[in-house]
A and B are shown apart, each in its own frame.
Chain A
Amino acid sequence: MIGIKSYGAYIPRYRMNHNTIFTSVGFLGTFPPPGENAVANHDEDALSMAVAAGIDCLGGVEREVVDGLYLATTSQPYMVRQNSALVATALDLPSNIRTADFIGSTKSGTTALLSAFDAVKGETSSNMLVCASDCRLSKPGSPQEYLYGDGAAALLIGSDDVIAAFEGSYSVSYDFPDRWRASGEKFEHAWEDRFIRDSGYREFITEVISGTLKKYELDIRDFTKIIYPGLYAREHGAIAKRLGAEPGQLQDTLLSTVGDTGSASPLMMLVAALEDTKAGDRILVASFGSGGDALIFQVTEKIGNIKDRRAVKKHLASKKELASYEKYLAFRNLAPMDLGMRGEINIRTPMSALFRERKVILSLCGSKCKKCGTPQYPYQRICVNPDCGAIDQMEDYRFSDKEGVVFTYTGDNLAASIDPPSVYGLVDFAGGGRFWFDFTDCDLDSVKVGMPVEMTFRRRYVDESSGVHGYSWKAAPIRA
């Protein structure tokens, strides 16, 4: 039996109420529906959120068993340099795996999932991680700004211990020019909403779900939960009605709490459904974008084995309001902000050094002395324990999955930051090891010596002159 073995999700901490946007750019004439969007922090993007969802999904799973990673997104930072390979490195996955980026359409999340099932079915992989993540940039004042939210989901696909069996799929593909973004462009273009809704959204979702029902001789009432993105709230309900579904079968679209998360949207809804399901439940998931895919799952008895996931529910509950639209513009680099002359100093990444040190920089791995057992970050050849000092007796040691406590900290107003003060400090890791890190997703007033923290993969900087998006690990208060 092939299917889903584990799930995880990520929703950034910040939420921006639609009224906050409206108050600032409502003069342009767009009117928002009520609700709020999940907004990535200034140091987050599609890759950092994919990593966070991946970590959630891999709780209790040995990283060494993962033999493939598919990343689905429409907001990948790199056009050349495989984004999924970067995510796999951050997750400290083995190097003898298959990685691929699924980009260019918001159906890429379900397409990546289908490809993962094919790989498992074809026995070329046995544990495929599928991460879907989107952090899309919208023009200030555009309808997309109200619609789009940031988030990610991750699913582990395999053939044993599945919590939801994959029972079938159906796909349709159309060159539907609802939204497009040409190579090199920063923002999407969109055709009229009524066209997108009536010629695309309504038609494709109806077609792909009807096609699935016909192919597998099922009735819409056979499903406990029906999942498809909710771009148009009223039409979302109307489609279900036309298909003969009851409103109670429809999974919440997260539209008014997270926003439309693009490639991640159907997978996040699926994760939310799995969080609240029981053995025997049948789930139908459909995506929208250049057509769509539909997938059928049946929940198994193993569903109870999945514990300690933040998934959608806990991430939804853990939030902080971003009350300043101007700050949001600053986070997205949509308005030039003055960081002073100090802010004009750029970090340059020597790529050969980055590759050489990838385990340290991107995987947050250090070493553990085989002689005295001391973990140390970054990797050392000579043991830092003054009573040991063993030379070249180290083994790799991963810090990204270790919790720590704040040894000391400060809030620095001198350091150039888009969100001052820069909070950073030294972290003592559970099990040993100490290093200093930037802190993120925290307010200075809430930080205390001894406070527990966890490590989170973040975008460190973007150097537009060299096109480099640099990443590293930061410490953050434990999220939920």
Chain B
Amino acid sequence: MAEGIKDKVAIIGMGCTNFGELWDKSADDLMVDAFKECIEDAGIEKKDINAAWFGVHFEEQSVGKGATSMALALKLPFIPVTRTENFCATATEAFRGACYGVASGAYDIAMALGVEKLKDTGYGGLPGGPSLMGTKNALIMPKLTAPGAFAMMATRYFAVYGLSPEEGKKMLAKVSAKSHHNGARNPKAHLRREVTEEQIINAPIIAWPLGLFDCCGVSDGAAAAIVTRADMAKKFRPDPIYVKALQIALSSGEELMYTKWDGAHVETGYRAGKLAYKEAGVENPREEISMAEVHDCFSITEAVTMEDLQFSPRGKVKEDIEAGRFNCDGPQPIQPDGGLKCFGHPIGASGLRMLYEMYKQLQGKAQLPERQLKNPKLGLTHNMGGFPAMNIVSVAIVGL
């Protein structure tokens, strides 16, 4: 009987670059910046790292295939380095690899690093192109973009729960306004300006019904973590953070090709959450998860994720949003660092960026005192890659 990952692995160091449109930084620069902060935080040297996992999604925009780009950029001394790619869960997959590496006893110290250099495409939004979903899909699927794919979930959510577009957009505006509030207070975030609900509602439409402020930043950035076996962790620092759960779930085709999915939730999010709660021994996520960084690529994604992760009952997230439940001064803060919405979304770095925020909050070391949440115990990170009808979701839980 598998025991799961709970309390077998500890994070002893993390690094995260500023996120943003970093015209003067290459992917190599970003990797070095995140790596430098990470090993300094862990108090180790490069030679102490036994193996590394490297996450990047749109490699064609920046570093090319394989893991050699990281080995070269960081001058890693002939150690095993493995490239991971699994859409927006790419960095969490790198982290999962590193955790399993030390948990198995194969290594003492492993590193996970994720990077993405998106702002070399020449246009707004994520890189497009026919290769994203494979040859056949390029010839039969709509030419969809990420905002369009998630807008379809908003359309569906409004229809299933009887919200008029006005009511729905108002609910979503509160989600984005909260993240802008948090992002404005985070020195490393990409978008650091508060916006009002009116501005959000009246912004230009990107993909109906989603407007500009329903969409997250398209950013450059990198983040990294050093992990060890739990029994070694206190040798490195007094306040290591322990891994409680690491789960992923992938679409089976049922959502896209069978007719039972309601289109108003992400089935993989619910499944991965359930697996993670079981692994971590969480019985009541609404009460026990102190805080979370979830995949708010779009405002609607955050809203349905609250339901998928059982923070809100099905169809009731609107009430929790309106009650301010997920604000930093609420009972279950979500996106304390600004989220993908405002911290930014360099695809291959996002999972580790989320863990960075949980790690710092759990240690009581959020950069500014006004950002520090009160006594968090368990932090959850959630990445969703692909589209609501066809995707991957990863859920990680970390704690003291």
- The residues of A with any CB-CB pair to B shorter than 8 Å are 340-342, 345-350, 353-354, 357, 360-361, 374, 376-378, 380, 384-386, 407-417, 421-422, 424-426, 428, 432-438, 444, 449-450, 460, 470, 472-473
Q: Which of B100-141 contact A (CB under 8 A)?
A: 121-125, 128-130, 135-136, 138-141
Question: Given A412-B147, A413-B207, list of 20 further CB < 8 A pairs?
Answer: A347-B130, A347-B139, A353-B136, A360-B136, A361-B140, A378-B140, A384-B252, A385-B258, A386-B254, A409-B155, A410-B208, A412-B208, A414-B145, A415-B145, A424-B142, A425-B155, A432-B259, A435-B257, A436-B256, A438-B143
A350–B135 touching, CB < 8 Å = yes
- Residues from chain A with a CB closer than 8 A to the CB of B258 are 374, 376, 384-386, 434
Complex contact B152–A357 (CB within 8 A)? no
Residue of A with least CB distance to B121? A341
B151 and A449 contacting across the interface, CB-CB below 8 Å: no
| A426 with B152: CB separation less than 8 A | yes
**B386 proximity list for chain A (CB < 8 A):** none
B interface with A by C-beta (< 8 Å):
121-125, 128-130, 135-136, 138-145, 147-149, 151-153, 155-156, 159, 204-210, 252-254, 256-259, 263, 389
Give which listed residue, B122, B135, B144, B208, contacts A444 with CB less than 8 A. B208
Contact between A412 and B207 (Cβ–Cβ < 8 Å)?
A: yes
* A410 in contact with B152 (CB, 8 Å): yes
B153 touches A408 (CB 8 A): yes
Q: Which of A361, A376, A384, A428: most chain B CB closer than 10 A? A: A384
With A378-B136, A422-B143, A460-B139 already in contact, the answer to whether A414 and B152 are too (CB < 8 A) is no
CB neighbours of B142 from chain A (8 A):
422, 424-425, 436-438
Given contacts A410-B155, A412-B151, contact A377 B145 (CB under 8 A): no
Contacts of B122 in A (CB 8 A): 341
Q: List A contacts of B135 (CB < 8 A).
A: 350, 353
B139, A470: Cβ atoms under 8 Å? yes
Instruction: Give the distance to chain A from B96, nearest Cβ to Cβ, in Å.
Output: 25
Name the distance in Å between A184's Cβ and chain B's nearest Cβ.
27
Interchain CB contact under 8 A, B151 and A357: no
Q: Chain B's nearest CB lies how many Å from the CB of A450? A: 8
Q: Cβ of B152 and Cβ of A376 under 8 Å apart?
A: no
A412 and B148 contact, Cβ closer than 8 Å, known pairs A341-B122, A386-B258, A434-B256: yes
Q: Specify which of A342, A411, A428, A435 lies most central, judged by the most chain B CB atoms within 10 Å of its CB.
A: A342
* List of A residues within 8 angstroms of B149 by Cβ: 410
Report which residue of A410, A434, A438, A450 has the largest number of chain B beta carbons within 10 angstroms of its beta carbon: A410
> In whole angstroms, what is the CA distance A436 to B257 when docked?
9
Q: A347-B138, A410-B208, A411-B208 are in contact. Are A434 and B257 (CB under 8 A)?
A: yes
CB distance from B41 to the nearest CB of A (A): 38
Q: A174 vs B333: C-alpha distance in the bound complex, in angstroms?
A: 83
Complex contact B123–A340 (CB within 8 A): yes
Contact B256–A435 (Cβ < 8 Å): yes
Chain A, residue nearest B157 (CB) = A408
Residues A414 and B148 in contact, CB atoms below 8 Å apart: yes
Q: Are B252 and A408 in contact (CB under 8 A)?
A: no
Chain B residues positioned under 8 Å from A416 (CB to CB): 128, 143
Nearest opposing residue in chain A for B254, CB measure: A386
Question: Known: A410-B151, A413-B206. Is A342-B130 also a contact (CB below 8 A)?
Answer: no
Would you call B152 and A361 a contact (CB within 8 A)? no
In the complex the two chains form, what is the Cα distance from A472 to B387 in whole Å? 21
How many angstroms from the CA of A382 to the CA of B129 in the assembled complex? 28
Query: Given that A380-B253, A380-B257 are known contacts, is A425 also in contact with B152, CB under 8 Å in the complex?
Result: yes
Q: Is the CB of B148 within 8 A of A410?
A: yes
Interchain residue pairs A-B with the least CB separation, the first 8? A424-B142, A412-B148, A410-B151, A341-B122, A341-B123, A408-B156, A411-B208, A449-B159
B142 — nearest CB in chain A belongs to which residue? A424
Q: Contact between A345 and B128 (Cβ–Cβ < 8 Å)?
A: yes
Q: Which of chain B's residues have a CB closer than 8 A to the CB of A408?
A: 152-153, 155-156, 159, 263
A408 to B148, CA, bound (A): 11
Minimum Cβ distance to chain A for residue B45 (Å)? 43
A436 to B261, alpha carbons, bound, how many Å? Answer: 14
> In whole angstroms, how far apart are the Cα atoms of A353 and B91 in the complex?
32
Whether A384 contacts B152 in the complex (CB less than 8 A), given A378-B136, A413-B207, comes out as: no
How many whole Å from B322's CB to the nearest CB in chain A? 24
Q: Chain B: which residue is nearest A379 at the CB level?
A: B136
Question: Which residue of B has the minimal Cβ distance to A386?
Answer: B254
CB distance from B129 to the nearest CB of A (A): 5
Q: How far is the CB of B114 from chain A (nearest CB, A)?
A: 25
**Chain B: which residue is nearest A347 at the CB level?**
B130
Name A374's closest neighbour in chain B (CB-CB). Answer: B258
Q: Which residue of B lies closest to A425 (CB)?
A: B152
With the chains together, A416 CA to B155 CA distance in Å? 21
The one of B145, B206, B257, B263 in contact with A384, judged by C-beta atoms closer than 8 angstroms, is B257
Q: Which residues of A contact B138 (CB under 8 A)?
A: 347
- Nearest-neighbor residue (CB-CB) of A444 within chain B: B208
Q: How far is the CB of B130 from the nearest CB of chain A, in Å?
A: 5
When distances are taken between beta carbons in the complex, the residues of chain B under 8 Å from A374 are: 258
Are B139 and A386 in contact, with the CB atoms below 8 A?
Answer: no
CB contact under 8 A between A426 and B263, given known A345-B128, A360-B136, A436-B141: yes
- Measured CA separation A473–B139 after assembly (Å): 10
Q: Would you mind naming 25 contact pairs between A and B with Cβ atoms under 8 Å apart?
A: A342-B125, A342-B128, A345-B128, A346-B130, A348-B130, A385-B258, A386-B258, A408-B152, A408-B263, A409-B152, A410-B147, A410-B151, A410-B208, A410-B210, A412-B147, A414-B206, A416-B143, A417-B143, A424-B148, A436-B141, A444-B208, A460-B139, A472-B139, A472-B140, A473-B140
Give the shortest distance, in Å, between A95 (CB) and chain B (any CB): 20
Q: What is the chain B residue whose CB lies nearest that of A377?
A: B257
Q: With A421-B207, A424-B142, A472-B140 in contact, is A433–B259 under 8 Å at CB?
A: yes
Pick the contact of B263 from A407, A414, A421, A472 — CB < 8 Å? A407
Smallest CB separation, B205 vs chain A (Å): 6
Residues A342 and B123 in contact, CB atoms below 8 Å apart? yes
A410 neighbours in B (Cβ, 8 Å): 147-149, 151-152, 155, 207-210
How far is it, in angstroms, between the C-alpha of A357 and the C-alpha of B389 when the chains are bound?
22
Chain B: minimal CB distance from A468 (Å)? 11
Say how far B136's CB is from chain A's closest CB, in angstroms: 6
Chain B residues with CB under 8 A of A426:
152, 256, 263, 389
- In Å, the complex CA distance between A346 and B143 comes to 11
Q: How far is the CA of A347 from the CA of B389 in the complex (A)?
A: 23
In Å, the complex CA distance between A360 and B123 comes to 32
Q: Closest B-chain residue to A382, C-beta based?
A: B253
Nearest CB of chain A from residue B51's CB, rounded to whole Å:
35
Question: Closest Cβ of chain A: how far from B150's Cβ, in Å?
Answer: 9
Q: Which of A422, A436, A449 contacts B389 (CB 8 A)?
A: A436
CA distance A140 to B301 in the complex (A): 47
Of chain B, the residue at the smallest CB distance from A434 is: B259
Residues of B near A347 (CB, < 8 A) are 130, 138-139
- The docked-state distance in angstroms from the alpha carbon of A16 to that of B58 is 44
Distance, CA A425 to CA B209, complexed state (A): 13
B392 to chain A, nearest CB (A): 18
State A438–B136 Cα separation when bound (angstroms). Answer: 15
Chain A contacts for B263, CB-based, 8 A: 407-408, 426
Evaluate contact between A345 and B130: CB separation under 8 angstroms: yes
Alpha-carbon distance A460/B252, docked complex (angstroms): 28
Q: CB-CB < 8 A to B144: which residues of A?
A: 412, 415, 422, 424, 436
Contact in complex: A415, B143 (CB < 8 Å): yes
Rounded to whole Å, the gap between the CB of A369 and the closest CB of chain B is: 11
Q: Is the CB of B145 within 8 A of A345?
A: no
